[in-house]
DNA sequence: AGTTTCCTCGTGTGAATATTCATAGATATT
DNA sequence: AATATCTATGAATATTCACACGAGGAAACT
């Protein structure tokens, strides 16, 4: 059901101005779909819809204009030394094999990533400060993917 | 209004079994209070009420019996080296006597505290990243208590 | 081997609840 | 008084919690 429903949502918001999830829910019902607000909240996130202004103070759900972030490419010395990556707010905590933290941090520094303000390293732990929470989450995910592909 | 309302809530849950916030809302209305679910959700947090089981799978709001969190126990080597603990958002900054930071940090690491993502240490300062602000505040308080009791 | 039974997971979901977002009304502060 | 903060709040939305259901195994049995 989920796929059909999400297609229906895309179709609906393409046709009409939807101001609230409640309203979207009504329209879905008319189209024969049964769901709750919680469910379409999740649909909206998965579809990456955004609620934006139109004209005079009126909201409306739309497809996000998706612009890909340029993905930083890491050399293997970095990724092979990383054990685990965690995030809290805008801080990345990167665990490395013992003794590698300094090297990895130096490498990260040298890449001059736009969204990393700086980092400090101990023996097996690096703390990196990202520009904001979004950047932190994004970088963490990228790093984790690098690890998984080893 | 807020105080009266919260008193009313305490009174109501003392008298009757309240299973949901919706139900509490009804009872408040009958008592002449006007509010929404969002508001009593906040009231409940402020009053530190908890939703607990009674008998057969039935929920009920009650005043929390304040039981201390299982406090991680630190060995004295840690606590005796700590001078001061400060928090900013999810970051703990722990000041130690000169030269002790590495040792204390190592010790903290070894405890594998669930809510500490990791930490790095210089000579007399440790920066530890907590999972979130709540965890940071809680740990800071715990550490401070340890210091005070020296 | 083929099947059956029993797990264990993952996924999707609604109900309940918490949180975000925007404002209105107090309360300083200049 | 005008302006800047707080505080409390409702509407909208997101998240938590509990559960149902189906897809893979793995073990037990035939």
Domains of chain A by start residue, with CATH: 2-63 (1.10.10.10), 76-148 (3.30.1360.40)
Residue A47's pLDDT band (boundaries 50, 70, 90)? Answer: very high
User: A40 is written with which tokens?
Assistant: 């379409």
Percentage of the residues of chain A whose pLDDT score is greater than 70 = 89
Tell which residue, A123, A21, A91, A78, has the closest CA to residue B132: A91
Higher-pLDDT residue of A142 and A13 is A13
User: Among A91, A101, A122, whose Cβ lies nearest the Cβ of B129?
Assistant: A91
- Of the listed ranges B6-20, B22-36, B78-92, B117-131, the one predicted with least confidence: B78-92
Q: Output the 3-class SS for B32-92.
A: CCCCCHHHHHHHHHHCCEEEEEECCCEEEEEECCCCCCCCCCCCHHHHCCEEEEEEECCEE
Structure confidence by residue, pLDDT tens digits, B110-138: 887 777 888 888 888 898 888 777 778 78
A126 shares contact with chain B (CB less than 8 Å): yes
Chain A nearest-CA distance from B150, in A, is 29
* Residues contacting B65, CB < 8 A, separation 6+: none
How many angstroms away from the CA of B115 is the closest CA of chain A? 10
Contact A9, A25 (CB under 8 A): no
Q: Which long-range contacts (CB under 8 A, 24 or more apart) does B19-22 make?
A: B19/B58, B19/B59, B19/B60, B20/B59
User: Mean pLDDT for chain A?
Assistant: 84
Residue pair B65/B58 in contact by the 8 Å Cβ criterion: no
Output the pLDDT for position A69. 59
Half-sphere exposure of B87 (CA within 13 A, CB side): 17
pLDDT at A57: 67
Q: How confident is the model at residue A118 (pLDDT cuts 50, 70, 90)?
A: confident
Q: Residue B88 has what pLDDT?
A: 72
pTM, full prediction: 0.68
Q: What confidence tens digit (pLDDT) does each residue in A37-46 have?
A: 999 999 999 9
The answer, yes or no, to whether residue A149 has pLDDT greater than 60, is no
The pLDDT of B75-99, averaged and rounded, is 83
**A86 part of contact set with chain B, CB < 8 Å:** yes
The pLDDT, as a whole number, for residue B68 is 54
Q: Give the Cα separation of B50 and A149 in Å (integer).
A: 44
| B4 CB inside 7 Å of strand D | no
A25 strand D contact, CB < 7 Å:
no
Q: Are strands B91-96 and B116-121 parallel, antiparallel or unpaired?
A: unpaired
């Amino acid at each position: 059901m989920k796929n059909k429903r999400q297609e229906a949502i895309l179709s609906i918001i393409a046709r009409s101005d939807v101001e609230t999830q409640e309203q979207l829910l009504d329209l879905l019902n008319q189209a024969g779909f049964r769901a709750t607000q919680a469910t379409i909240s999740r649909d909206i996130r998965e579809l990456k819809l955004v609620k934006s202004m139109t004209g005079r103070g009126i909201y409306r759900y739309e497809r996000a204009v998706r612009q890909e972030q340029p993905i930083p490419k890491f050399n293997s010395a970095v990724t092979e030394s990383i054990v685990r990556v965690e995030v809290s707010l805008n801080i990345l905590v990167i665990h490395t094999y013992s003794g590698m933290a300094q090297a990895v941090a130096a490498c990260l520094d040298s890449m001059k990533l736009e969204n990393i303000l700086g980092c400090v390293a101990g023996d097996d732990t690096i703390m990196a400060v990202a520009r904001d929470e979004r950047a932190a989450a994004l970088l963490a995910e990228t790093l984790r993917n690098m690890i998984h592909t080893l």
